[in-house]
Amino acid sequence: MNWHAVNAIYGFEMSRWGRTLLTSVLSPVLSTSLYFIVFGAAIGSRIAEVDGVTYGAFIVPGLLMLLLLTESISNASFGIYLPRFTGTIFETLSAPLSPIEIMLGFVGAAATKSIILGIIVLITSSLFVPMHVAHPAMMVTFLVLTSVTFSLFGFIIGIWADGFEKLQIIPLLIITPLTFLGGTFYSISMLPPLFQKISLINPVVYLISGFRWSFYDIADVSVWISLALTLALLAGCSALVWWIFKTGYRIKA
């Protein structure tokens, strides 16, 4: 393993984030807080408890998941797209690096940022609503696995994209709608039976359900199915990244 190189890429990506720390941290914290004010405080006061949890607390895992997905994807996709755009990728390609090392550097940094943001927003949330974490180990597992998986996914988008607008398309048109329809603000069981069935093809439902289970012990689907799906997504994205580096897809002429 070329650890010096992994460390160099990781450090470079983290310092790029550090330069814009204020906006990188402030904007997700602010938008999450706004969700709490709008959905938690205003609407939540008219909604009774969901499965024995106050509405404000109920939406925390979903909001966190939304944050993890969007931040992981945008950080990782931008991280690899930028050097492709400026041409500095030549250096990474000419360095004695295996695909795994490049991946560890870029994806590791993106996932780290998501995890840090997740923890900050978790702490912020606890200021608004009474919260508890029933299964801390599983909570951390989901937090880390989701961050890593969607950083990998973002990495793939950053290699696939050939313009800045394409970087935005998938998060905007797919991830955000799936997250909103995936039970961030409601339990699937509140939906009519047909929509419950339809919801089950949305993978984000499983992510949110598992994550919510680790907080409140309530879930729409079995936590093991959630975990298995997360691991399957992780394996799928890893395989795709491996193939990209093996063939040089879009990064080598």
Partner 1 sequence: MSSKQDRNRAGAIISIARLRKVYAPGFEALKGVDLDIKRGEIFALLGPNGAGKTTLINIICGIVNASSGKVTVDGFDHATDYRPVRAMIGLVPQELATDLFETVWATTTFSRGLFGKPPNPAHIEKVLRELSLWDKKDAKIRTLSGGMKRRVLIAKALSHEPKILFLDEPTAGVDVELRKDMWQIVRGLRDSGVTIILTTHYIEEAEEMADRIGVITKGELIVVEEKAELMRKMGKKQLILQLASKLDAVPPALAAHNLQLSADGLSLTFTFDTQAERTGITSLLTDLRTEGITFRDLSTKENSLEDIFVDLVRHAA
- Please report, as ranges, the residues that interact with partner 1 according to CB under 8 A: 2, 4-5, 7-9, 11-12, 15-16, 19, 86-88, 90-98, 248, 252-253
What is the number of other CB atoms lying within 10 angstroms of the CB of residue 217? 14
Q: Using CA atoms, how far apart are residues 78 and 84, in angstroms rounded to an integer?
A: 10
Complex with partner 1: residue 4 or 197, whichever CB lies closer: 4
Which of 10, 117, 103 is CA-nearest to residue 65? 117
Nearest approach, Cβ of residue 239 and partner 1 (Å): 20
Beta bridge partners of residue 50, listed in sequence order: 53
Nearest approach, Cβ of residue 6 and partner 1 (Å): 9
Complex with partner 1: residue 24 or 54, whichever CB lies closer: 24
Nearest approach, Cβ of residue 89 and partner 1 (Å): 8
Nearest approach, Cβ of residue 101 and partner 1 (Å): 9
Complex with partner 1: residue 27 or 247, whichever CB lies closer: 247
Complex with partner 1: residue 16 or 166, whichever CB lies closer: 16
Task: Provide the Cα torsion 45, 220, 195, 32; round to 10°.
Answer: 50
Nearest approach, Cβ of residue 10 and partner 1 (Å): 10
3 state DSSP class of 40: helix
Alpha helices in the chain (DSSP H): 3-19, 21-35, 55-58, 60-86, 89-94, 99-128, 136-160, 164-170, 176-180, 193-199, 203-216, 223-247
Which of 24, 8, 17, 25 is CA-nearest to residue 104? 8
Complex with partner 1: residue 40 or 105, whichever CB lies closer: 105
Q: Is-contact 175 69, C-beta < 8 A?
A: yes
Nearest approach, Cβ of residue 7 and partner 1 (Å): 6
Complex with partner 1: residue 103 or 208, whichever CB lies closer: 103
Identity at 60, one-letter amino acid code: V
Pull the structure tokens for residue 194.
């047909």
